[in-house]
Amino acid sequence: MDVQRRLGLQIQRLRTAKGWSQEELAYRADIHRTYISGLERGTRNPTVTVVERLVKALGCTWSDLLDRTTRRAADRKSED
Amino acid sequence: MDVQRRLGLQIQRLRTAKGWSQEELAYRADIHRTYISGLERGTRNPTVTVVERLVKALGCTWSDLLDRTTRRAADRKSED
DNA sequence: ATGTGACTAATAGTCCGTT
DNA sequence: AAACGGACTATTAGTCACA
């Protein structure tokens, strides 16, 4: 799972949890609607300033969007 | 403090904590030395794939580089 | 060992659509 | 509502010579 795909899935997860359409999120984050679509599908490689707008719009952390989902410490041991 | 500046300071903080030169980090993250320099000074607006390489090289989380530093819950109250 | 300006190739990001 | 495409402009990726 690459970083773009992971980011896309998390954006979608958080967006739908709020009951927002892609257009609604686009409006709140001041990002074009078609770009949100591309982000969620993992076909875009956004800059940190764009992700910052998403973090603020979604009211989440960078970790929520980009770090692997929360695990117990024991699960982290096998990472490279 | 914008996202680029914050990112730059955290990269520098984690790099120096390991006793690495910019060249050493550049080698480990497979990023050009002068680009690391620009990142630390906050003059670059990198994409998530570039930050991913730094996260792996530094052995840190996205949160370490981009979320505001860990604070007590009480400190979070005055945020926008 | 690092800061900086300049440069080209690549791509981020927008805007117009159709399905 | 959302996936997807084409075309377009602005900006980044990546590198270099030099201070």
A31 CA – D7 C1', rounded, Å: 19
For the stretch A23-57, pLDDT in tens is 999 999 999 999 999 999 999 999 999 999 999 99
Q: In this structure, is residue B30 part of a structural domain? A: yes
Q: In this structure, is residue B78 part of a structural domain? A: no
State what percent of residues in chain A have pLDDT above 70.
85
Q: Residue B61 is part of a domain; what is its CATH number?
A: 1.10.260.40
Nearest-Å Rg of the Cα atoms of chain B is 13
Is residue A59 predicted with pLDDT exceeding 80? yes
Domain that holds residue B48: 3-73
CB contacts, 8 Å: A60 with chain B: none
Cβ-Cβ pairs closer than 8 A, A with B, add up to 46
Q: Can you tell me which residue has the tokens 């603020």?
A: A56
Instruction: Report how far residue B52's alpha carbon sits from residue B70's, in angstroms, rounded to the nearest whole number.
Output: 21
**Protein residue with the closest CA to the C1' atom of nucleotide C3:** B37
